[in-house]
Structure 1
């Protein structure tokens, strides 16, 4: 009997709504609420309009430090004769699908920006129905998906813009090598990347690096809280000899209780990384001081990788980095400079010894 009553109610609701236009989740019932336009002859003209928000389907690519515009336009179908008061809201979608972060809210010429975007974002409204977002001095953390939402009091509609940074996704986990394998929980992993002028990588960034040949047989944290690793040459200790190349996954892990390495992402640096020509080899502390004396600072792992990737930094001299590791970048492989593939060579974390040093100086 209860089921029958429910069916009857639904049918009644269906008959009540029948014939009314449906746009974007809203019914416009100007007939039933006497807000339609009559012509004096008992006829009523329906005035429902549809709000459409347009954003690009393809991702927007840029570099760290750049200024970038995320396009967003809106229109009405049919076109309005009298403009409506519009509220525009931009937000950033989190990688782990938790609550969105507010970026900017605007009504007319007034706008307010939030958090790390404060002072770096504004609207570009060159056209009558434009709501594009301009981001200045782009940071590594700015990559991801953004929502452009247009609200006019009757409707709200939105579109998504994806922003990607061109960068390198190296393994950059200083704690891993200096204190052993699998020593980072998720929060420590994020900090380890930040300490090396990088951010923890997303799955998409790791996948792209794998497509470009990245092979790493240690599982590492990604931004979404999963633990994965890229394999291009399968073998028994690395995901199985009889399994195809790809990204191996341990799935989502507890961010406090589980410990792994980490994959970091770095984009083009703002400054210059260079090998300091010095008359003597140096200890780590001497290396830091030598860079300071040259008006620079000792380079970080992410900065060295980015310089190798974007500017083809090539030097067959091992040098200190800020994390206490010894590395050198090879863009053009040659005899006596390591393996035949381009890459950043590592000598690990020596307790003692004297080497050269790589410095970083802002442009």
Structure 2
């Protein structure tokens, strides 16, 4: 194999493909990055038996062939090279990399032992890459991190004709995002549990082109596969696949239809800034208190007698129904509240409260007098307040 490629193009491609390499590979070859040169250019691939990444880039190919080398080492080398064209030459035992006066020799790994990457399943539709990335980012904040409970580390993707729904929960908060896309058929339908980490990284890394194509195969237990493909905007293509998770996702959609007894509307920016300041003195595992007044909300937190903080923010408070307010104070996990506010892409937020200790629904508002948006809904389980 003999290839000449631009330094920036190579460095970006290696970094993208190497990001999926496992920290503790089950076999030495899975720590490798596979480079394959043919008359179409250069293709770089990685695979950990669950998630695959494949990227094709333009290159001058003198001799076709393939090589397998340490992916993390190649990524570090490519990132450090001077801004000059890079020449790659490989045989069965090693690969040489020359860039200006810099020269590296990397030991080759056995290509014949490298597993075949899965093919992309059938394409079921496309979505604008920017909209898809934003939608995923709004939902993954609510996904769990505990690998011992894998179903909570997933995003449930539901396809129903021209609508895609993304749903995630870690049991203490839930996020739902719905957006329109371009299905391959108007009768498109299906559901999949996609690892949240892989989905998040994939969505963020495929915004160079205008669209991202989604492929899906629902095989037997443990065999389901989802794939994504996006253009680089310069003739190259990025593709990734990952194995779907098994399990029954909890039925939490009904929590997205809260009928409020009390609603609070306020500026996202003002609430975010105040919550960050007040949370500085919040004791671990204690709530950030929101005291609800007639036209303000006050955030409070404390660490015993050592430190206290409070800050009031202007708000529009509406009581739904007659009688006294069902709730005058609410306890939020400060990190959950900040995550939810950060996921909103509009200037105002609407809190829908039902009763103390019950779930609270957050939705976005374009203006304080407008109707809450329903395409993105975020639910936080309130913490119990002392007394």
Specify if TM > 0.5: no
Q: Which has the larger radius of gyration?
A: 1
More strand by share: 2
TM-score by length of 1: 0.23
TM-score by length of 2: 0.22
